[in-house]
Structure 1
Amino acid sequence: MSTATAPLESSLLGDRILKVNHAGENGAVHIYAGQLLLARLTAPSLVGEIAEFKSHEERHRSIFWAELERRGRPRCRSYLLCGVGGYALGLATGLFGRNAIAATTVAVERVVLRHLRQQLVDLQGRDEAAQRAIAAIVAEEQQHHDQSAAHIQSQALWLRLLSPLVAASTEAVIWVGMRV
C-alpha cells in the first residue's frame, strides 16, 4: 500500500467501524426499550437497571453519531434493521423474564466487547478519533455484561440455547453492517 492511500484506507476503516457501532448502539437502545416494556410485568426488579443501561446505550449512540457527523458521514444502512431487530429481541426476551433478559445482555455484550477490543487494536495508529470514541464506551459495556451475568440464576436448557442464538445473531448483524 502506498503512503498516499494509507490515510484514506485508515479513515475508511474508521468510518465503517463507527457506522456499524452506531447502528449496533441503536440496536442495543431498542433491545432495552423492548425489555423495559415487558420487564415491568416479568422482571420488575430489573426495571431500574434496564433503564440505566438504556441510557448508557443512548449516550454511546450519541458518541458515535457525533463522530460520524464531524466526519460528514451518514449512518449505516443497517441502522433501522438494528433498531427493529433489537426491539423484537427485547420484546421476546423481556417476555421470558429475568433470566432471559440477563442472558441476552451477557450474550450481546460478550460479542460486542470482543469486537470493540479488536477494533481498538485495528485502529491503533490509524484513526485516533475513532479509537477514542470506542474507548469511551468499553467500561460501561463491560459493566452491563458483568451485572447481567450476576443475575442469571438458572442453567435451564432453553437459556443455554438462547445465549448462542443471541450471540450468533449479534455476530450476523455486525457482519452484515460491515458489508452494506
Structure 2
Amino acid sequence: MSFYSKTLEASYAKQIDRELRASHAGETGAVWIYRGAIFAEFILSFFNIMRSTGATKVFIQEHLKTEKQHLNLFETEMPLFRGSFILPLWVAAGFITGFVPRLLGKNWFFYTIYSVEKFVDTHYEKQCSKLVMQPNPPSNVINRFKRCQMDEQHHRDEAQSQIATKVTLPMKLWGRLVRVGSSAAVTIAKII
C-alpha cells in the first residue's frame, strides 16, 4: 500500500470517527433531554404547579425509549470510535434542554423538541451525504444513520403536531438558541 493510500485511508477513518463521535454525543444528549423532562414532570406534579396531560407523559416515555435505542445502536452496533471527552457536558446540556422548557409548559417543551429534531434531521442528512461521497462508503454506518434520521423526523413531526398555541417570540428565540447550541455541540464533539 502506498503512502498516499495509507494517508487517504487514515483520513477516511478519522472522518467516520468524528461523525460517529458527534452523533453519539447527540444521542446521549437526547436521552438526557427526556430525562430532564421527566424530572420536570415530577417537580410539577409534586408541587401541584401544573397539571400534566397523560399524552405529554406518554410522548416523553416513548421518545426516551427510542433515544435509548439510538444510543444503544451507537454503543453496540457501530464501528469502534472514540467518544467525546466532554460527554458529561452533553449530558448536562441535554438535561437542561428538557427540564427548563418542560417547566415552562408543554408548548415550550414540544417546540423545543421540534427545534432539536429539525436540527438533527438536517445533521443526519449532511452526515449521510458526506459519507456516501467517500470512495468506499460505510453502508453499515449510513444505513444506521438513516434509520435514526427517520425516527427523528417522526419525533419532529409529532412534537410539531402537539404544539397547541401560537409559537411566541420568546419560544422562537429559545428554539433558535437550541439549534445554534446543537450546531456548536456537533462541531465541538467532532474535535473533543
- TM-score, L = length of structure 2: 0.85
Q: Which amino acid in the other structure matches residue 75 of structure 1?
A: G
Distance in 2 (CA, whole Å) between partners of 1:90 and 1:4 is: 44
Q: Which amino acid in the other structure matches residue 76 of structure 2?
A: A
Match of residue 158 from structure 1 = 170
- Kindly indicate whether residue 187 of structure 2 is the aligned counterpart of residue 175 of structure 1: yes
Deviation at 1:84, TM superposition (A): 1.1
Q: Which amino acid in the other structure matches residue 132 of structure 1?
A: N
Distance in 2 (CA, whole Å) between partners of 1:49 and 1:23 is: 22
Deviation at 1:3, TM superposition (A): 2.8
Match of residue 24 from structure 1 = 26
Match of residue 130 from structure 1 = 141
Distance in 2 (CA, whole Å) between partners of 1:81 and 1:128 is: 30
Q: Which runs of 4+ in 1 moved over 6 A?
A: none
Q: Which amino acid in the other structure matches residue 161 of structure 2?
A: A
Q: Secondary structure at the match of 1:2?
A: helix
The number of residue pairs the alignment matches comes to 178
Contact 2:120 2:149 in 1 (8 A): no
Match of residue 116 from structure 1 = 124
Match of residue 146 from structure 1 = 157
- TM-score, L = length of structure 1: 0.91
Which of these residues, 36, 52, 59, is aligned with residue 49 of structure 1? 59
Contact 2:34 2:98 in 1 (8 A): yes
Unaligned runs of 5+ in 1: none
Distance in 2 (CA, whole Å) between partners of 1:81 and 1:96 is: 23
Distance in 2 (CA, whole Å) between partners of 1:27 and 1:130 is: 20
Q: Secondary structure at the match of 1:5?
A: helix
Q: Which amino acid in the other structure matches residue 27 of structure 1?
A: G
Match of residue 47 from structure 2 = none
* Identical counterparts, % of pairs: 25
Distance in 2 (CA, whole Å) between partners of 1:122 and 1:67 is: 20
> Deviation string for 1:13-62 (max 9, x for gaps)?
11111111111111000011111222353443311011100110011011
Contact 1:35 1:90 in 2 (8 A): yes
* Aligned-CA RMSD value: 1.8
Distance in 1 (CA, whole Å) between partners of 2:4 and 2:77 is: 27
Distance in 1 (CA, whole Å) between partners of 2:11 and 2:82 is: 18
Q: Secondary structure at the match of 1:4?
A: helix
Deviation at 1:94, TM superposition (A): 1.1
Contact 2:17 2:82 in 1 (8 A): no
Q: Secondary structure at the match of 1:155?
A: coil
Contact 1:105 1:148 in 2 (8 A): yes
